[in-house]
Chains A and B, each alone.
Chain A
Amino acid sequence: MSRINWHRNWAWIALLGFAGLAAAIAHGQFVSKSPRNDSPIKTEAVQYLFPAQVSVPAGKPSPVILHFRVAQGLHINSHTPSDQFLIPTDFSISEGVGVRLGAATYPPGTIISLAFDPNTKLSVYTGEFAIQARIEATPGNHLVQAKLHYQACDQNQCMPPKTIDVPIDVIGK
């Protein structure tokens, strides 16, 4: 086989590979027919920041610090809100994924009053906050979709309670 032919064949293989890749991407788009649930306009009130991956000794409860950010201008109730009706921020991991949540330690809330009701003190998280979760993993890689449940407000109005996914790749060693 001459050198030119060899190059030409590889060019065809590369072109076919590219076509296959384009096909896979287009197919992936085409099968997800349902419109996305997330609004294109509204952003999440709370965003999970990091870590995306943690390594823990297998079978031993280990502390992992998870960082979140509350969007500017909003606050969410702390884990121990000041009023019986308010919804606490709560972190959880579903059972049966090879990873178990032993306990979660939440930061104390910042005490604030809002302009519309200066006499009421609220215990809230604003800006960045971190939750320390003690997690126990079986040996191996586990992609965990942990959850954070919260309810956010600004100065005058409140948004419905929400649960967001907290994706963490937990490696039990």
Chain B
Amino acid sequence: MRRNSIVLIVVVFILAIFAWAGWANWEYRKQAAEKQQAAAPQGVLVPAPGTGAPEYVSPLNGRPAPAFALENLSGSKISLASYKGKAVMINFWATWCGPCQVETPWIVELRDKYAAQGFEVLGVDTEGDDLQPGDKAGWAKAETSANKYVREMKVQYPVLLDGDSISNEYGGLDDLPTSFFVDRNGKVVAASVGLTSESDIEGNIKKALAE
């Protein structure tokens, strides 16, 4: 009888330990997932005033655009900070993105139209999302594709590489194209995900140019 009681106590103790372990692990995972989500602020779609069509609202709206310095196609470091005083459109794109191919000529045209007012575009190539850091051939191929794309699209604005390295700061960049419109003080005033229209992009450029 005494032996049975001891075994029972031991079993209950083991079960309690592992129940606690399971709970602790679940808590850990939950917290890790929450931390990861918090690090990559996600935007939401809300009905646009007037039209009621879904409009992307980034949590970065009204906040300073996250700083970055990335290499351009010539290998020079270009920082967002060096454009302070200008309105900037940060356009995340990739060569494999069909909607990006559609909007790029619009962006080229709008950049020319508003450059004199102090507007610039930074095209940020996010080509290598599934490339491993050590995959030299993969990265070289991605850079070659980006160069070819830029030539064919007659892109005159700075094009930066390795946009994936700043994707967390800009909300994860789960979908392309994604653009952020930054005013002369470095504050995000608008954002868009997916293909919109040339007039929508122009509207956002005007917001960024307005003081």
Contacts and interface: CB of A to CB of B under 8 A. Distances in A.
Contact of A85 (B26, B149, B176): B149
Nearest to B7: A12
A161 B98 contact: no
A76 B14 CA distance: 50
A16 B151 CA distance: 71
B14 A116 contact: no
A2 to B, nearest CB: 15
Given A16-B11, A35-B36, A158 B97 contact: yes
B2 to A, nearest CB: 14
Contact of B177 (A26, A42, A157, A161): A157
B176 A19 contact: no
Interface residues of B, number: 39
B25 interface: yes
A159 B172 CA distance: 11
A89 interface: no
Contacts of A87: 96
B129 A122 contact: no
A12 B94 CA distance: 63
A160 B129 CA distance: 6
A95 B18 CA distance: 40
B157 interface: no
A22 B13 CA distance: 12
Contact of B175 (A83, A149, A157): A157
